[in-house]
A and B are shown apart, each in its own frame.
Chain A
């Protein structure tokens, strides 16, 4: 496993340790048993009738980070994200939020956390069909007991923030899918939570609207700077939004890393398959393609940082007479010449 720990020096907002969720009869025996825990999902199902949707997962999420969880359908992403606020009750493990183990919270404390600290955006929106946009957005405030005037005021603010002003009095079925998801987003933002959870929020939308919404999330992330945990099965979405990406298979963690780490150094064939069709030049940075300095390299070429994406470096590398030096803090890390650049752009083959 790669990079389980947060790179930042900051304390993580969420730390997940040895998290298990097993569906089925007498689920609790599975995490404890080394023998059962080692079985594949299929074998476990045949042996015990249980499905291990999340098995032994560890990760940390840093404050302000966009943390993406990815995997094929059925790999346990939705279950994992629901375990974080116990919409699905985990079978074993720890979910520590700001130093507090959520799995030990009593119902009242759990409600408080859900009301004030977390919000979630759902794949199929989950709007209340019998309520207008304003009433949907202010629902979370309503159940906290916020006064009507105050919650309408706050709702109008977030509705404006997600670009839905003018639709306050509409009902969900009068809005397009993209607009409905904006309502879902506004509802999640209304309570001013610390952490936003997204469960494939855009996979029910068509591609153009999806792109709009992704930009919207990026914009919001810049504006409100919240920590986000984002589930998707779309790699380009993951690369576009995610600071770091966790890849799951059959409930287990396969790899955690930044986009370029996954593309450049996939942990196994499953991940390699995932990233196969990614345009590598859009993701890889110079540090992944540079070669060590050779003695015959001229050292008077231009300098670039190691985190510059290949696509952006292409023009300057090809235009330069001499190979480009990759430099960080004045230290020479390596050399990138036409050859390295062209091999990335031309070839899909793994480095």
Chain B
């Protein structure tokens, strides 16, 4: 046993590393040529474009926007299709808002005030999950009121709920269909993949073309982002229902519908609830981002504060988002894990509905229960405190933070950006296509060529290269951290137990939240955006690597140890090479997550494409440029995704 494993280790790895080394040499050669030419040609053919400068493509997008805007009242496609969807969704959102968030029905306050909402949240949490999370949820929502952000929180909650309800109404039936029909499953899987690799903020812009800036676009964007998990997990749950049980049900003469409702859905229930959990978290994340297209709520408070660099207020609102995320996540996770209930428990639960209804009635009738008492507000104090802390950090830790920031900027970001953005565009393009060919495949090279050509067309070449530089730096750092943490987790169960919950928590947080502490530490700069992107992307990459390392067969590791390898040798010669595919996959996911943060980073000084997108939302004449920037981000994403996947497949095949 040991002997055979050892031979596999010793015969397979060198072959692979020779191939890798050869490819590495070619890539190094390409890079060397590029650097040489850069020294000579830098500053020429860079296609740079000033901040307010526009190209014909941008004008054309502007005109398109205007034309669509002008045609909105006459074009039948709008009158009978888009407008119906827009108005329908708008009204639904307004309806949900009028219940918990906005004054409505000729009342100065929403139908249900804070007291009723807190009671309802507690009751529903208890009903779907357990008492413990019900207490957590009640406390969490009460805290939102204390923060002085009740209305904003309820706006965010209303939008999230509206989007989640529509997502589930669409997603669960689609998921069931995909679970029952192989053909439909094959059809939707690539579509879902694509929906999920698209940086989520990018489709905000095109959506506003058709649905205007406002709740409808925000909800549809949220829908696109949030529906895939529940579709996927519903289908997965149905597909993995125990075959025996399904067969037993059929053998007793069930119809298809009976098998679905009595066997498949109950069996898939836990998985579906997990899908609902992911959908809710994705919706919350997206609703806060949709503040960029004027969606009301906490996200808007954060965006405004970020734009004025008011860290204190951003911190307070960010904290509210975290609280809401924790509550929603804990409640739905606990709902998935809920055990069986006996009868007395159910009776007590029904009895608890009475005081809840009473609380709702109170909050409908009395002002004290409708509006959160603003004298209890601790939010402004939190904001002041966070602002003070930031000032203190910035004035006292400045040598350290600025030092770190400057070193990174000078040593890494600037040179890379200079090589990418100051080279002639054709040089960069040629080098990227060549590298795609060497480490990826012919197909990857063609995809790269097409994407690069389209980026040139978008008129934002220079900005794209700046963004690409930040993306590469962020991805490299993500991977360094992910490999270190992933290997540690993969080798030690204890480390896994400690780190994994932290990563899980990190993954459920809406992206905005990451920006705030980094803004406090490093002020607005490219470095801040990169740091936030790294923190955002590390959890997913780390988990993939940890699972890959853990997946390396124990016998092989044992054989390597038995033949006298040191720990370091075991890691570098056995565990990492054998989980090469996981590392490649982690790089791919890391890249996509980093790109997702590009737009958000635009808010805190990342500049380039992210800034173009953000500016496009706020300034009419930059609309076209913003749209082009969004497209450029997608193009970068598609190119990097295809390239890393091709590289991963190649690693997998070992040559």
> How many angstroms between the C-alpha atoms of A98 and B418 in the bound complex?
86
Of all chain B residues, the one with the shortest Cβ separation from A190 is B252
CB of B258 within 8 Å of the partner chain: yes
Indicate the member of B245, B248, B340 with the most A CB atoms within 10 Å: B248
Partner of A130 from B247, B248, B255, B266 at Cβ < 8 Å:
B266
Residues of A within 8 A of B267 (CB): 128-130
> How many angstroms between the C-alpha atoms of A115 and B258 in the bound complex?
13
Structural contact, A125 and B244, CB atoms closer than 8 A: yes
Of all chain B residues, the one with the shortest Cβ separation from A107 is B255
Per-residue CB contact flags for chain B residues 219-258 toward chain A (1 = under 8 Å, else 0) read: 0000000000000000000000010111111111111001
> How many angstroms between the C-alpha atoms of A323 and B255 in the bound complex?
64
Indicate the member of A85, A111, A184, A191 with the most B CB atoms within 10 Å: A111
Of all chain B residues, the one with the shortest Cβ separation from A115 is B253
CB of A87 within 8 Å of the partner chain: yes
Residues of A within 8 A of B340 (CB): 171
> How many angstroms between the C-alpha atoms of A209 and B247 in the bound complex?
25
Residues of B within 8 A of A191 (CB): 252
8 contacts between A and B (CB under 8 A): A112-B253, A119-B251, A122-B247, A126-B247, A127-B245, A130-B267, A130-B269, A197-B251
CB of A143 within 8 Å of the partner chain: yes
CB of B263 within 8 Å of the partner chain: yes
Per-residue CB contact flags for chain A residues 76-100 toward chain B (1 = under 8 Å, else 0) read: 0000001001010000000000000
How near does chain A come to B207, taking the closest CB pair, in angstroms? 40
Q: Which residues of A contact B (CB under 8 A)?
A: 82, 85, 87, 110-116, 118-120, 122-130, 139-140, 142-144, 171, 184, 187, 191, 197
Structural contact, B262 and A118, CB atoms closer than 8 A: no
Residues of A within 8 A of B248 (CB): 120, 122, 125-127, 184, 187
Residues of B within 8 A of A187 (CB): 248, 252
Indicate the member of A110, A128, A142 with the most B CB atoms within 10 Å: A128
Structural contact, B266 and A143, CB atoms closer than 8 A: no
How near does chain A come to B613, taking the closest CB pair, in angstroms? 47
Known contacts A111-B254, A123-B244; can you find 20 more A-B pairs with CB under 8 A? Answer: A87-B251, A111-B253, A114-B250, A114-B251, A115-B252, A116-B253, A120-B248, A124-B242, A124-B244, A126-B242, A126-B244, A126-B246, A127-B245, A128-B245, A128-B263, A129-B245, A143-B253, A143-B262, A144-B253, A187-B252
Q: Which residues of B contact A (CB under 8 A)?
A: 242, 244-255, 258, 262-263, 266-267, 269, 340
How near does chain A come to B354, taking the closest CB pair, in angstroms? 29
Residues of A within 8 A of B253 (CB): 110-116, 140, 143-144
Residues of A within 8 A of B263 (CB): 128
Of all chain B residues, the one with the shortest Cβ separation from A173 is B340
Residues of A within 8 A of B247 (CB): 82, 87, 122, 126
Residues of B within 8 A of A184 (CB): 248
> How many angstroms between the C-alpha atoms of A124 and B243 in the bound complex?
10
Structural contact, B258 and A143, CB atoms closer than 8 A: yes
Of all chain A residues, the one with the shortest Cβ separation from B254 is A143
How near does chain B come to A285, taking the closest CB pair, in angstroms? 37
> How many angstroms between the C-alpha atoms of A118 and B252 in the bound complex?
8
> How many angstroms between the C-alpha atoms of A130 and B266 in the bound complex?
7
Structural contact, A128 and B252, CB atoms closer than 8 A: no
Residues of B within 8 A of A110 (CB): 253
How near does chain A come to B270, taking the closest CB pair, in angstroms? 10
Of all chain A residues, the one with the shortest Cβ separation from B250 is A87
How near does chain A come to B623, taking the closest CB pair, in angstroms? 53
Residues of A within 8 A of B258 (CB): 143
Of all chain A residues, the one with the shortest Cβ separation from B244 is A126
Structural contact, A139 and B251, CB atoms closer than 8 A: no
Residues of B within 8 A of A116 (CB): 253
Partner of A139 from B244, B246, B252 at Cβ < 8 Å:
B252
Structural contact, B262 and A126, CB atoms closer than 8 A: no
Residues of B within 8 A of A127 (CB): 245, 248
Partner of B251 from A112, A120, A128 at Cβ < 8 Å:
A120
> How many angstroms between the C-alpha atoms of A144 and B253 in the bound complex?
8
Residues of B within 8 A of A87 (CB): 247, 250-251
> How many angstroms between the C-alpha atoms of A127 and B252 in the bound complex?
12
> How many angstroms between the C-alpha atoms of A127 and B262 in the bound complex?
12
Structural contact, A140 and B244, CB atoms closer than 8 A: no
Structural contact, B266 and A128, CB atoms closer than 8 A: yes
Residues of B within 8 A of A122 (CB): 244, 247-248, 251
Residues of B within 8 A of A171 (CB): 340
Structural contact, B266 and A119, CB atoms closer than 8 A: no
Residues of A within 8 A of B251 (CB): 85, 87, 114, 118-120, 122, 197
How near does chain A come to B264, taking the closest CB pair, in angstroms? 11
Known contacts A128-B266, A130-B266, A171-B340; A140/B252 CB under 8 A: yes
Residues of A within 8 A of B254 (CB): 111, 143
Known contacts A115-B253, A171-B340; A139/B245 CB under 8 A: no
Indicate the member of B246, B251, B266, B267 with the most A CB atoms within 10 Å: B251
Partner of B252 from A82, A123, A125, A143 at Cβ < 8 Å:
A143
How near does chain B come to A135, taking the closest CB pair, in angstroms? 10
Structural contact, B262 and A139, CB atoms closer than 8 A: yes
> How many angstroms between the C-alpha atoms of A13 and B263 in the bound complex?
31
Residues of B within 8 A of A144 (CB): 253
Residues of A within 8 A of B250 (CB): 87, 114
Residues of B within 8 A of A123 (CB): 244
How near does chain B come to A233, taking the closest CB pair, in angstroms? 18
How near does chain A come to B245, taking the closest CB pair, in angstroms? 5
Partner of A126 from B245, B255, B266, B269 at Cβ < 8 Å:
B245
> How many angstroms between the C-alpha atoms of A171 and B254 in the bound complex?
21
Residues of B within 8 A of A129 (CB): 245, 267
Residues of B within 8 A of A118 (CB): 251
Indicate the member of A87, A112, A126, A187 with the most B CB atoms within 10 Å: A126
Residues of B within 8 A of A126 (CB): 242, 244-249
Residues of A within 8 A of B266 (CB): 128, 130
> How many angstroms between the C-alpha atoms of A122 and B249 in the bound complex?
11
How near does chain A come to B343, taking the closest CB pair, in angstroms? 10
> How many angstroms between the C-alpha atoms of A111 and B246 in the bound complex?
15
> How many angstroms between the C-alpha atoms of A260 and B253 in the bound complex?
37
Which 3 residue pairs are nearest across A and B when measured between Cβ atoms?
A126-B248, A115-B253, A114-B253
> How many angstroms between the C-alpha atoms of A110 and B253 in the bound complex?
8
How near does chain B come to A199, taking the closest CB pair, in angstroms? 9
> How many angstroms between the C-alpha atoms of A193 and B266 in the bound complex?
27
> How many angstroms between the C-alpha atoms of A30 and B262 in the bound complex?
37
Of all chain B residues, the one with the shortest Cβ separation from A88 is B247
Of all chain A residues, the one with the shortest Cβ separation from B256 is A107
Indicate the member of A82, A118, A123, A124 with the most B CB atoms within 10 Å: A124
Residues of B within 8 A of A111 (CB): 253-255
> How many angstroms between the C-alpha atoms of A112 and B253 in the bound complex?
7
Of all chain B residues, the one with the shortest Cβ separation from A114 is B253
> How many angstroms between the C-alpha atoms of A6 and B267 in the bound complex?
43
Of all chain B residues, the one with the shortest Cβ separation from A135 is B262
How near does chain B come to A298, taking the closest CB pair, in angstroms? 60
Indicate the member of B252, B254, B269, B340 with the most A CB atoms within 10 Å: B252
How near does chain A come to B153, taking the closest CB pair, in angstroms? 36
> How many angstroms between the C-alpha atoms of A197 and B247 in the bound complex?
13
Residues of A within 8 A of B255 (CB): 111, 143
Of all chain B residues, the one with the shortest Cβ separation from A112 is B253
> How many angstroms between the C-alpha atoms of A122 and B248 in the bound complex?
7
> How many angstroms between the C-alpha atoms of A114 and B269 in the bound complex?
27
> How many angstroms between the C-alpha atoms of A118 and B248 in the bound complex?
12
> How many angstroms between the C-alpha atoms of A23 and B242 in the bound complex?
21
Residues of A within 8 A of B244 (CB): 122-126
Residues of B within 8 A of A197 (CB): 251
How near does chain A come to B132, taking the closest CB pair, in angstroms? 23
> How many angstroms between the C-alpha atoms of A82 and B263 in the bound complex?
20
> How many angstroms between the C-alpha atoms of A126 and B247 in the bound complex?
8
Residues of B within 8 A of A113 (CB): 253
> How many angstroms between the C-alpha atoms of A220 and B253 in the bound complex?
23
Residues of B within 8 A of A130 (CB): 266-267, 269
> How many angstroms between the C-alpha atoms of A119 and B245 in the bound complex?
14
> How many angstroms between the C-alpha atoms of A113 and B255 in the bound complex?
13
